[in-house]
């Protein structure tokens, strides 16, 4: 393998694939990035077995020659050092040549690097994914759907399936669900032209979705998603992102979502968020994060928390609308804040069926997302 390549293009590809590198891998070859060179260009691959990312650098784009290929070939280079050194090379043009025993020579300006390479034959082969279950959606929509659900996943490894986000697609509706048994987040989106595609129980690790989000550009990019038996493939421009589907059956969450309610409040999202945040500051000192909310006789609601060591916080907040019975309820304010942070709507609806029933939160101008928080059983 012998090439000369542009630094900024190589660097961008390295940044993409390096998101699949785990610092804790016990398999030496997986701490490397694989380079495959042919006359079309260079393909970089990295994998931690759960995630694999592949990025293709074409030899030429419409504007310029990016890679000059003198000799095709492959090598695996130590990721950590490779990632850091390429960024810091002194010139835009980089020469790379693989010699005996995969010793790799990199030259840029007056800098010469000799890197211990590994045998590319040892690198795991990426899964081949049959492409019959394919949907496309805009990158920013996908990023939003991830952001608005992934915070509700479980972080406990005792229930691995709950560390992922459930994806269902049926009747042109893609739906994400996440729950840690104390709270739940759902977000749906209408997709067009997916009548023939249907899947359920596709569960993707939250960690993986966060890495995927970082790779999706902010500009309007279309992401192609291919769902196979135990793998999902995301195609973003010239990047292929493979993820394992988590094993197991995702629990049925429909039963914990109340279908009726006795109290309905409409509130200003920002004001509620700031108010809960102040009560949270005190509640977190007690480790429980318990905050109380109660309707007041003269209208409005009271938000309060207390700590035996520090004192009390009490707030009054106006209601935009109020329907149904008065109530007094306690909940984990951290869970409520997590929801309030990602709601983009200026107003939100909170619905209750009783002191011990799940609390429902919905943005006013968006019927596609819903959040549920289980209340605390408190003595007073």
Residues in the site for a copy of itself, rule: CB under 8 A? Answer: 78, 81, 84-85, 88-90, 103-104, 110-116, 274-275, 277-278, 281-282, 285, 309-317
CB of 273 to a copy of itself, least distance (A): 11
Distances (CA, A) of 174 to 13, 154, 168, 286: 30, 21, 6, 40
CB of 110 to a copy of itself, least distance (A): 4
- Tell me whether residue 237 or residue 285 sits nearer to a copy of itself (CB atom): 285
- Tell me whether residue 238 or residue 271 sits nearer to a copy of itself (CB atom): 271
Distances (CA, A) of 97 to 73, 92, 94: 10, 17, 10
Contact 330, 376 (CB under 8 A): yes
Measured between alpha carbons, how far is 304 from 318 in angstroms, rounded to an integer?
14
Strand duo 134-138 + 111-115: pairing: unpaired
What is the per-residue burial (b if ≥16 Cβ within 10 Å, else e) of 111-134?
eebebebbebeebeebeebeeebb
CB of 274 to a copy of itself, least distance (A): 7
Q: How many CA atoms lie within 13 A of 373 on its CB side?
A: 24
CB of 282 to a copy of itself, least distance (A): 7
Of the candidates 138, 190, 146, the one whose C-alpha atom is nearest the C-alpha of residue 164 is 146
Measured between alpha carbons, how far is 304 from 314 in angstroms, rounded to an integer?
4
Residues 6 or more apart whose CB falls under 8 angstroms from that of 32 comprise: 46, 76, 77, 78, 79, 82, 118, 123
- Tell me whether residue 110 or residue 125 sits nearer to a copy of itself (CB atom): 110
- Tell me whether residue 256 or residue 281 sits nearer to a copy of itself (CB atom): 281
CB of 93 to a copy of itself, least distance (A): 16
CB of 170 to a copy of itself, least distance (A): 44
CB of 281 to a copy of itself, least distance (A): 5
- Tell me whether residue 94 or residue 204 sits nearer to a copy of itself (CB atom): 94
CB of 21 to a copy of itself, least distance (A): 15
Contact 122, 76 (CB under 8 A): yes
- Tell me whether residue 69 or residue 301 sits nearer to a copy of itself (CB atom): 301
Unique residue bearing structure tokens 């459930």: 166
- Tell me whether residue 146 or residue 317 sits nearer to a copy of itself (CB atom): 317
Measured between alpha carbons, how far is 351 from 324 in angstroms, rounded to an integer?
10
- Tell me whether residue 60 or residue 112 sits nearer to a copy of itself (CB atom): 112
């Amino acid at each position: 393998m012998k090439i000369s390549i542009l630094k900024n293009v190589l660097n961008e590809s390295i940044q993409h694939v390096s998101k699949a590198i785990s610092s804790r891998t016990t398999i030496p070859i997986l701490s490397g990035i694989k380079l495959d060179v042919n006359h079309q260009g260079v393909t970089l691959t990295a994998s931690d077995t759960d995630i694999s990312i592949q990025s293709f650098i074409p030899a030429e784009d419409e504007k310029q020659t990016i890679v000059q290929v003198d000799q095709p070939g492959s090598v695996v280079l130590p990721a950590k050092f490779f990632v850091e050194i390429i960024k810091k090379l002194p010139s835009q043009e980089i020469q790379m040549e693989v010699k005996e025993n995969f010793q790799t020579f990199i030259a840029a300006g007056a800098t010469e690097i000799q890197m211990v390479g590994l045998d590319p034959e040892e690198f795991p082969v990426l899964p081949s994914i049959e492409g019959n279950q394919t949907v496309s959606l805009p990158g920013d929509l996908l990023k939003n759907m991830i952001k608005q659900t992934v915070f509700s996943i479980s972080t406990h490894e005792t229930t691995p399936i709950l560390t992922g986000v459930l994806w269902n697609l049926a009747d042109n509706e893609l739906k994400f669900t996440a729950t840690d048994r104390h709270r739940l987040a759902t977000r749906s989106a209408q997709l067009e032209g997916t009548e023939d595609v249907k899947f359920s129980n596709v569960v993707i690790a939250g960690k993986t979705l966060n890495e995927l989000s970082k790779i999706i550009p902010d500009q309007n990019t279309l992401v192609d998603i291919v769902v196979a038996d135990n793998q999902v493939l995301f195609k973003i421009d010239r990047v292929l992102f493979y993820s394992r589907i988590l094993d197991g059956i995702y629990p049925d969450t429909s039963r914990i979502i109340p279908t009726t309610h006795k109290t309905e409040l409409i509130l200003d999202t920002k004001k509620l968020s700031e108010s809960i945040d102040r009560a949270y500051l005190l509640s977190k000192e007690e480790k429980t994060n318990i905050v109380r909310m109660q309707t007041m006789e003269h209208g409005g609601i009271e938000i309060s928390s207390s700590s035996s060591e520090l004192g009390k916080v009490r707030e009054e907040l106006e209601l935009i609308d109020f329907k149904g019975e008065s109530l007094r309820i306690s909940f984990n304010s951290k869970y409520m804040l997590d929801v309030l942070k990602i709601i983009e709507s200026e107003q939100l609806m909170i619905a209750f069926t009783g002191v011990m029933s799940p609390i429902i939160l919905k943005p006013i101008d968006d019927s596609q997302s819903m959040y549920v928080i289980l209340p605390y059983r408190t003595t007073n």
